[in-house]
Amino acid sequence: MGLSEVPDDYIYFVETNVSYNKLSPFIQQDLRYEVQIDPTGAPIEANLTVNEVNTYAPGKGLPGYPEGYYDGGRWNPELRRVEQWKTYYGGYSRLYPPPGAKLIAAVGFDDGPDLSQEEQRTLVGGYVGITSGESRQLRFKWLPNVSVSRLGEYRLFVQRQPGAPEHSLTVLARLPQGFSAKNISPLPISVDDDTVTWHTVLDKDQIFSFKLYSGGRNIITQSTVLSTTQAKVPEPVPTLTQTIQSTETFQIAPAPPSLPGRVPVPKRLIIPAIEVDAPIINVGIEPSGIMASPDNAAIVGWYEFGPRPGESSNAILAGHVDWKGKIGVFSNLDQLKVGDKIEIQSSPGVSVQFVVESLEQYSTDNAPLEEIFGGTPKATLTLITCGGSYDAIRQEYNDRLIIKARLDDR
């Protein structure tokens, strides 16, 4: 089938029943994808709704199709035979979300959802059978758990199934509070205060993208990413059980046993070489786009919208050199050496170990942001604090000290 390897957000909805066009030419299919974006451009919650209608009417077949093509059936395991019905169409529909996505719910299948893996990806699917004039709605909900390839830019790749008929596709991207979208591609049908909406035909692979701006600036600017102002943590992701129109509850799909769970949330940072043993709290980004650091000299902040320390890609921790006249937890961070050990604890006795690989100090105005904050192919830990001299007029340090460490998996 050939799954595309692309960064950022991704969906691929396929019909796996074997027929002339993969999906019966009389099955009308419409896709509606809704996604919530965080201030970095990463998708944090996704919903896909698929509406299917069997438009076939008896006697209205297409030339060239064999006799009996419009009669469908399904294997009955109890009677051990195929039962056939006039104008019935049945097939297996499957959704491929991004690699690493956490499935929350899947409803609308005849027998409930099935989970499996293909090319190291989890997919969810099931059997859907509909007769002439009947319609069916499938709904999926998941947490994408992807990193962005470019900070402050949302990108979505929708893969089209080869050989399948064209069908309608609507994409609604919900913006984070206080942000606007610019450089939108392709041209959307509407842009309001918090949503970018596209409507198109999925006749080929489609790519949708835009850049996030707050106060006229893209989030990738130094002032929005490197500030140490305390952030307002966004609303938490909804719980696993969701109610639809107050009458129908999502069916919770169990996680596949072959997939490991996420690394636990970090709770404590220990660096023996500089005698650091400090609590870690979750921090986010203000509506203005400013990444937070803790409102306390002795606490370390973990950027909760990125990977957890020990997961693939780049986990970010930030702390103060000093704060309101107090010595900060990272006051001696510049004394670290390559090879020093860093421990991240999630609970007593449960931790991951890192080894320092590099120490770099950059001018705040010229820091290589994508190198500092961007994704990495392997588990990486990045520690950030202030450095250089203090500018009393600007009331900030002139430099940023960046420590990069690799996972010690020995």
In contact, 361 and 367? CB cutoff 8 Å:
no
Looking at mean pLDDT, say which of 8-12, 55-59, 241-245, 294-298 comes out highest: 8-12
Beta strands in 131-216 (DSSP E): 135-143, 153-159, 168-174, 180-185, 190-191, 195-201, 206-214
Return d(Cα 214, Cα 287) in angstroms, integer: 8
Question: Of 227 and 11, which is predicted with more confidence?
Answer: 11
Q: What is the pLDDT of residues 280-302, one digit of tens each?
A: 988 876 555 556 788 889 999 98
Return d(Cα 16, Cα 28) in angstroms, integer: 16
Return d(Cα 178, Cα 183) in angstroms, integer: 17
CATH superfamily of 268-407: Sortase (2.40.260.10)
Residue 178 binned pLDDT confidence (cut-offs 50, 70, 90): confident
Residue 251 binned pLDDT confidence (cut-offs 50, 70, 90): very low
Give the start-to-end residue ranges of the domains of the chain.
Answer: 9-220, 268-407
Residue 35 binned pLDDT confidence (cut-offs 50, 70, 90): very high
Percentage of the chain lying above the pLDDT 70 cut = 76
Of 17-21, 136-140, 141-145, 204-208, least confident by mean pLDDT is 17-21
User: Which residues touch 194 (CB under 8 Å, ≥6 apart)?
Assistant: 174, 175, 177
User: Which residues touch 197 (CB under 8 Å, ≥6 apart)?
Assistant: 170, 171, 172, 173, 188, 189, 190, 191
Return d(Cα 37, Cα 212) in angstroms, integer: 10
| Both tokens assigned to 140 | 């999926």
- Torsion sign, CA atoms 104, 313, 13, 176: positive
Query: Alpha carbon of 87 to those of 62, 180, 265: distances in Å?
Result: 13, 48, 52
**Mean predicted confidence (pLDDT) in 119-147:** 84
Average pLDDT, the chain: 79
Question: How confident is the model at residue 122, as a pLDDT?
Answer: 78
pLDDT of 226 higher than 50? no
Which DSSP helix (H) or strand (E) runs through 373? Answer: helix 369-373
Residue 183 binned pLDDT confidence (cut-offs 50, 70, 90): very high
**Mean predicted confidence (pLDDT) in 4-13:** 80
* Amino acid letter, 260: P
Question: How confident is the model at residue 247, as a pLDDT?
Answer: 28
Q: What is the pLDDT of residues 328-364, one digit of tens each?
A: 999 999 999 999 999 999 887 789 999 999 999 999 8
Question: How confident is the model at residue 248, as a pLDDT?
Answer: 34
Number of residues assigned to the chain: 410
Which DSSP helix (H) or strand (E) runs through 369? Answer: helix 369-373
Task: Name beta bridge partners: 171.
Answer: 33, 198
Percentage of the chain lying above the pLDDT 90 cut = 34
Distance from chain centroid for Cα 71: 41
Which DSSP string corresponds to 197-232? EEEEE-SS-EEEEEEEEETTEETTSHHHHS--PPPP
| Both tokens assigned to 112 | 């409930």
Decide whether 9-220 matches 268-407 in CATH topology: no
Return d(Cα 143, Cα 325) in angstroms, integer: 41
Return d(Cα 160, Cα 13) in angstroms, integer: 8
Domain 9-220, CATH among 2.60.40, 1.10.10, 2.20.25, 3.40.50: 2.60.40
Question: How confident is the model at residue 218, as a pLDDT?
Answer: 60
Question: How confident is the model at residue 239, as a pLDDT?
Answer: 28
163: left (phi over 0), alpha (psi -120 to 50) or beta: left
Return d(Cα 286, Cα 38) in angstroms, integer: 11
Q: What is the pLDDT of residues 366-383, one digit of tens each?
A: 888 778 877 787 889 999
pLDDT of 149 higher than 60? yes
Question: How confident is the model at residue 383, as a pLDDT?
Answer: 96
Q: What is the pLDDT of residues 66-78, one digit of tens each?
A: 666 666 666 666 7
- Torsion sign, CA atoms 101, 105, 110, 111: positive
Query: For the whole model, what pTM was predicted?
Result: 0.55
Return d(Cα 43, Cα 37) in angstroms, integer: 5
Q: What is the pLDDT of residues 185-207, one digit of tens each?
A: 999 988 987 899 999 989 889 99
